[in-house]
């Protein structure tokens, strides 16, 4: 197992680090100030400026191996860097969730017509998309629970049901939704679900509200959706009827690497801010950095980040070698381990910053809420712990 960067990945890393210093970090305050006085879901113009600059530098669509030419392991290091500025850096590179997962789905399973209509504008950064699986009335940690109905009537599918926590839906650039529902409620548990493409302007489709995350409205939003006799042509089906669960699992493997590494980028930035604060702030006659309890918090944070990063890189390496199925245990593990560690590190940084840590004068508060939410989205910790336990126990129970 070799985690050394290839020359190509090292070149991208150097270009991205320079781009972050020269363009992304200076844009953070511009982004925040614009959102403070405008529609919270409108896109600050500075993001389009960053996208144009990133594309000019060749920092574009790096997440998709067939386009960027990077393996999951190589891209992981770049995803970590973008996580240091999570609101704008991933989108500047057209490597933001949920679009990356949706582009992977269309790339792997879409028809030529679907790719032309939706994948191409997504790859060009012209539109955005959403992935609609989670529902308010059932425990969506079990994907077989979903109740949305997708019924074929002639040359159309008729869709009825509700979804919520659908990331990206509040942004008017979100033009297409990949929607998961049941086409065969009486079939085998993992063949009941299918996925269809629903354009934003389809009659009967309503964005009910944007949900806050710890009182915050993200620019792209996390919305509740209602589908009332929504009709789409059968050509909007992705792959075949009954393939929905399979597609959802294929979508999650690389995406978990991206999420985990971005979270580690947040943790690294939090540790950096923690060290600077400890060195600069004087209390009781000496810098905080001279206090043993602060030194321990810094050391614990460094050790935890290193452990989590190594596990995530191992997982990326396994996906490259054996596919997501061959890394199932590790994918579940990083989904639990990384958000926990990032949450702990950011929490320590907040504590050392005192009152400034819970304000928006630093990025810590926003990072804190996001990594806490990570312990719920894409499946709560308990589901992944259950998966790990079953894998460990299997040899002893067979």
Round to whole Å and give the CA distance between 176 and 120. 12
pLDDT at position 322 is: 93
Q: How far is CA 198 from the centre of its chain?
A: 21
Output the tens digit of pLDDT for each of the chain's 398 residues.
Answer: 889 999 999 999 999 999 999 999 999 999 999 999 999 999 999 999 999 999 999 999 999 888 888 999 999 999 999 999 999 999 999 999 999 999 999 999 999 999 999 999 999 999 999 999 999 999 877 888 899 999 999 999 999 999 999 999 999 999 999 999 999 999 999 999 999 999 999 999 999 999 999 999 999 999 999 999 999 999 999 999 999 999 988 887 788 899 999 999 999 999 999 999 999 999 999 999 999 999 999 999 999 999 999 999 999 999 999 988 899 999 999 999 999 999 999 999 999 999 999 999 999 999 999 999 999 998 899 999 999 999 999 999 97
Measured CA angle at 311 (ends 307, 317), to 5 deg: 145
pLDDT at position 141 is: 79
Measured CA angle at 31 (ends 44, 345), to 5 deg: 135
What region, left, alpha or beta, does residue 279 occupy, with left being phi > 0 and alpha being psi -120 to 50 degrees? alpha
Round to whole Å and give the CA distance between 91 and 54. 10
Q: Domain 245-397: give its CATH architecture.
A: Up-down Bundle (1.20)
pLDDT at position 388 is: 94
Peptide bond into 98 cis (omega under 30): yes
In angstroms, the Cα distances linking 388 to 175, 181, 277, 333, 398 are 37, 27, 38, 7, 16
Domain 127-238 carries which CATH code?
2.40.110.10
Evaluate whether 72 touches 319 at the Cβ level (below 8 Å). yes
Evaluate whether 266 touches 342 at the Cβ level (below 8 Å). yes
Residue ranges matching CATH 1.10.540.10 in the chain: 7-109
Residue ranges matching CATH 1.20.140.10 in the chain: 245-397
pLDDT at position 275 is: 98
For 7-109, which CATH class? mainly alpha
Round to whole Å and give the CA distance between 268 and 318. 24
Return the structure tokens found at 262.
């971005």
Question: Which residues touch 21 (CB under 8 Å, ≥6 apart)?
Answer: none
Question: What number of CA atoms fall less than 13 Å from residue 300's CA on the CB side?
Answer: 15
Residue ranges matching CATH 2.40.110.10 in the chain: 127-238
Return the structure tokens found at 147.
């109740």
């Amino acid at each position: 197992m070799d985690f050394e960067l290839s020359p190509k990945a090292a070149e991208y890393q150097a270009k991205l680090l320079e781009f972050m210093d020269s363009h992304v970090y200076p844009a953070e305050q511009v982004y925040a100030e614009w959102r403070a006085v405008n529609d919270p879901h409108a896109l600050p113009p500075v993001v389009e400026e960053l996208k144009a600059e990133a594309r000019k530098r060749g920092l574009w669509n790096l997440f998709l191996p067939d386009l960027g030419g990077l393996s999951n392991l190589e891209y992981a290091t770049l995803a970590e860097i973008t996580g240091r500025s999570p609101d704008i850096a991933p989108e500047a590179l057209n490597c933001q969730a949920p679009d990356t997962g949706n582009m992977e789905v269309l790339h792997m399973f879409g028809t030529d017509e679907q790719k032309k209509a939706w994948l191409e504008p997504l790859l060009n950064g012209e539109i955005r998309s959403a992935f609609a699986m989670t529902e308010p009335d059932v425990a969506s940690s079990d994907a077989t629970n979903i109740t949305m109905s997708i019924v074929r009537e002639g040359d159309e599918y008729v869709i009825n049901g509700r979804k919520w926590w659908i990331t990206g839906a509040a942004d008017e650039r979100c033009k297409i939704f990949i929607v998961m529902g049941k086409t065969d409620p009486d079939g085998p548990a993992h063949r009941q679900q299918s996925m269809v493409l629903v354009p934003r302007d389809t009659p009967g489709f309503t964005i009910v509200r944007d949900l806050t995350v710890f009182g915050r409205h993200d620019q792209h939003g996390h919305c509740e959706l209602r589908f009332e006799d929504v009709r789409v042509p059968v050509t909007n089906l992705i792959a075949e009827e009954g393939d929905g669960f399979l597609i959802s699992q294929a979508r999650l493997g690389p995406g978990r690497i991206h999420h985990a590494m971005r979270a580690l980028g947040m943790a690294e930035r939090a540790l950096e801010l923690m060290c600077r604060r400890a060195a600069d702030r004087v209390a009781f006659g000496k810098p905080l950095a001279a206090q043993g309890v602060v030194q321990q918090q810094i050391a614990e944070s460094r050790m935890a980040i290193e452990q989590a990063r190594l596990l995530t890189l191992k997982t990326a390496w396994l996906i490259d070698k054996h596919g997501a199925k061959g890394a199932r245990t590790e994918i579940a593990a990083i989904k639990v381990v990384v958000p926990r560690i990032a949450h702990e590190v950011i929490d320590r940084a907040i504590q050392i910053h005192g009152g400034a840590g819970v304000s928006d004068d630093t990025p810590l508060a926003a990072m804190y809420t996001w990594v806490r939410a990570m312990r719920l989205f894409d499946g709560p910790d308990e589901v992944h712990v259950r998966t790990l336990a079953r894998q460990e126990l299997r040899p002893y129970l067979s």
